Amino acid sequence: METKRVLLNCQYRVIGFSNPSNCCFLNSAMQIVKAIGGLQNISSEHRGENILRSLQEVCGNSRLMEPKSAFWRLLELYLGYTPRAIRQNCACEFLRFFLTQLDEELEGLYTRVHVDEGDEWVEVGQRNQSQSFNFRAKGKSILYDLIGLGFKTEARAKGHSSMTYQEELIISVQAETKLTQALDNYFSYTKIESFIVDGVPTSCKAKTWISSFRPYLILHIQRFRVENGNIIKVKKFIEYPKILKIPLRCLSPSLKLLVENGNCLAPDYELKGIIEHHGESANSGHYTAVINNAGTWLHIDDQVVRPVSVDFVRNRIAYVLLYQQVNREYL
């Protein structure tokens, strides 16, 4: 097992997937996976087991739903039953499931470029403040160096400071008027009522920063919420930029210093793909995708692939957004 440089860009032929029965949720999710060039390059180097083999099928086949294929077995694992008659599912949930399973399989093939300490410890900080550190969620494979964000959350109360580190492949944000506003809210101060200090519950403020960023960023807009026992869809248009510049105020102090000194690339991302949900419920309706391939925007509706204008792209009711870091060619 060795650390390798992974080429991030990959030109490929965009093909649609057949939809024998309610398969649009996985078709659109897999179009996002194919648009992540680093994954295509990784899949071409290894035969792999079930998940990598299903990724290879996704990258080179127009018919995913072939009985006894690797992708078929993956879908059985996700659904919990043999997919003879598939019910509509959430495209984002399936995308998250696929990436999580892929992380497990890639663990033995690629070492991570950088792994933070994962143990919990307590130390005394300035003015005898007690500081505890904990890594709650840590990816196992190079996938977490390729996709997502690393976070640092600090909670302070009564002279006690608690630091939590976490990694996410898909970042879920609230449905605000603008995507930039949703990110600002994500990284704003929050109040915690059940924070424990010396065995006593107390309230405190918590702040989350980005501690590391990856070449690809997947953002999930929370369009479905429960009201009075019913699932309601937020249908409003949310403005999302072609170039997403993550504000420096969202970065941890150490990462901000690296960016300001030019020791790492700025967290500027270019829109690469979109999943759109059409309909009223996450368990019904229809999913389509829009992908940028070699500078051309393509709308993908199952097997139908057609070029579209930039105006068409900027006016989607986006459910999932894929961004790629600008000016970065290798992991």
How many beta carbons lie within 10 A of that of residue 316, not counting itself? Answer: 19
Q: What is the pLDDT of residue 191?
A: 74
pLDDT tens digit string along 264-300? Answer: 888 899 999 999 999 987 778 899 999 999 899 999 9
Contacts of 175 (CB under 8 A, 6+ apart): 182, 221, 222, 223, 234, 236, 238
Coil/strand/helix, residue 225: strand
* pLDDT-derived band at 198, boundaries 50, 70, 90: low
Domains, the chain, in order of start with CATH, read 23-111+136-325 (3.90.70.10)
**Least trusted range by pLDDT, from 186-195, 252-261, 271-280, 318-327:** 186-195
Q: What is the mean pLDDT of the chain?
A: 82
Spatial neighbors of 295 by CB under 8 A, at least 6 apart, are none
Q: What is the pLDDT of residue 329?
A: 75
**255 touches 246 (CB < 8 A):** no
Rounded CA-CA distance 271/159 in Å is: 43
- The confidence score (pLDDT) of residue 131 equals 45
pLDDT attached to residue 39: 83
Non-local (6+) Cβ contacts of 68 within 8 A are none
Least confident among 24-28, 96-100, 115-119, 132-136:
115-119
The helix (H) or strand (E) run that includes residue 266 is: none
